[in-house]
Structure 1
Amino acid sequence: MTDLPFTLDLAVSMPDPAWADLTPNLQTRTEEITSIALQEISRVFELKPIAGSQQPSVEISLVFTNDSDIRALNRDYRGKDQPTNVLSFPDSPLDQAELEQAVRLGEPLLLGDIVLARETLIREAEAQHKNVSDHFAHLLCHGVLHLAGFDHMDENEAVEMENLEIMILRRLHIANPYELSDQPRQETPDLK
């Protein structure tokens, strides 16, 4: 991946094989979306290449699954017994000190896991009159931002996160998903 102060390693798991038919070139598209999201995050965090050494490796695990599997995860980890579109499980913070430590240890920086549910993604895209591939890009971008520490627990955080999503999606030639919606921005269950 180019323009990153680290190399990116995506560990992709696809328990729901129907994901392969959801968007053309799923693997390539996933790498592109994740790389661009991390470029913007690196810019915001002012991450720099580490001089005179091998660049650190950042690893993200992606799981492309279904409503049944994500419902169980949502129930077990968030206490919500219903499917959701995307879950993020952060591991290590993405900052300069962690990148430098990864180089010293010779180990990848494990950023975390992102789990996406195909059926929920499709239902939402249809209900919001959005292209499924574009909605996938938005949710993946959203998950990567969560791994990097962004959240939407209050209005200011939500606005910051949405603005980053819009910027990343613009680089992917995807329209602002919040302007496409037939309704005003919906409060997320976590935003109270």
Structure 2
Amino acid sequence: MQSIDKKFEALRRPVQQKVLAILAALKKENVSIDVLLLGNRQMRTLNRLYRGKDSSTNVLSFEEPKQFVYPKEEIRRKGEIYLNPEMSSDWWTKRNKKKSAEFLGIDFLLVHGVLHLFGFDHIVGTDAVKMERKETAIMKLLEIKN
């Protein structure tokens, strides 16, 4: 778990604990996910490079390449999640800003990002329904409100 932007240091431990809880809810063991906390500028750069969209975003997930040759290890790297706390309701609520209603919570964004690493997507309508159901189930199980 890394925080590229120092202003997000206080989020490191809670984010790490939430990802572990999400993996447990999915019954995924021996899996490692890297989470990097970035601000708007860095996320805009990544979004432009990898999605062709010249704007910041709240969360990006990059699955570890399947064809990559891994050494024999007990824990398998699943991928990376880049999270932008500045585009979360939690960030704005703590600053007493009305913008919080415009954004989703960090916990939801983590659930969403983790599900992408396990093959869930929301591009096609039927896939979106499956992903939303799984998000709802995990959020209910972990008592996450959004």
**What is the TM-score of this pair, normalised by structure 2?**
0.79
The equivalent residue for 2:34 is 61
Alignment of 1:7-46 (within 5 A): 12-21=1-10, 26-42=11-27
CA spacing shift, 1:152–1:59, aligned 2, 3 Å: same
The equivalent residue for 2:126 is 156
Verify the 8 A CA contact 1:41 1:145 in the aligned structure 2: no
SS of the equivalent of 2:105 reads helix
Distance 1:66 1:33 in 2: 20
Alignment of 1:80-159 (within 5 A): 80-91=53-64, 105-106=72-73, 108-122=75-89, 126-127=98-99, 129=101, 135-159=105-129
Distance 1:90 1:140 in 2: 14
Residue 106 of structure 1: how far off its partner (Å): 2.8
SS of the equivalent of 2:121 reads coil
Distance 2:26 2:141 in 1: 13
* 1:173 partner amino acid: E
CA RMSD of aligned residues (A): 2.9
Q: How many residues in Structure 1 have an aligned counterpart in Structure 2?
A: 139
Residue 163 of structure 1: how far off its partner (Å): 1.3
Verify the 8 A CA contact 1:41 1:148 in the aligned structure 2: no
Where in structure 1 do 4 or more consecutive aligned residues deviate above 6 Å? none
CA spacing shift, 1:28–1:118, aligned 2, 3 Å: closer
CA spacing shift, 1:58–1:150, aligned 2, 3 Å: same
* 1:108 partner amino acid: I
Verify the 8 A CA contact 1:75 1:82 in the aligned structure 2: yes
Identical amino acids, percent of aligned pairs = 32
Name stretches of at least 5 consecutive residues in structure 2 with no aligned partner: none
Residue 65 of structure 1: how far off its partner (Å): 0.8
CA spacing shift, 1:113–1:139, aligned 2, 3 Å: same
Q: 1:172 aligns with which of 128, 142, 145?
A: 142
CA spacing shift, 1:18–1:139, aligned 2, 3 Å: same
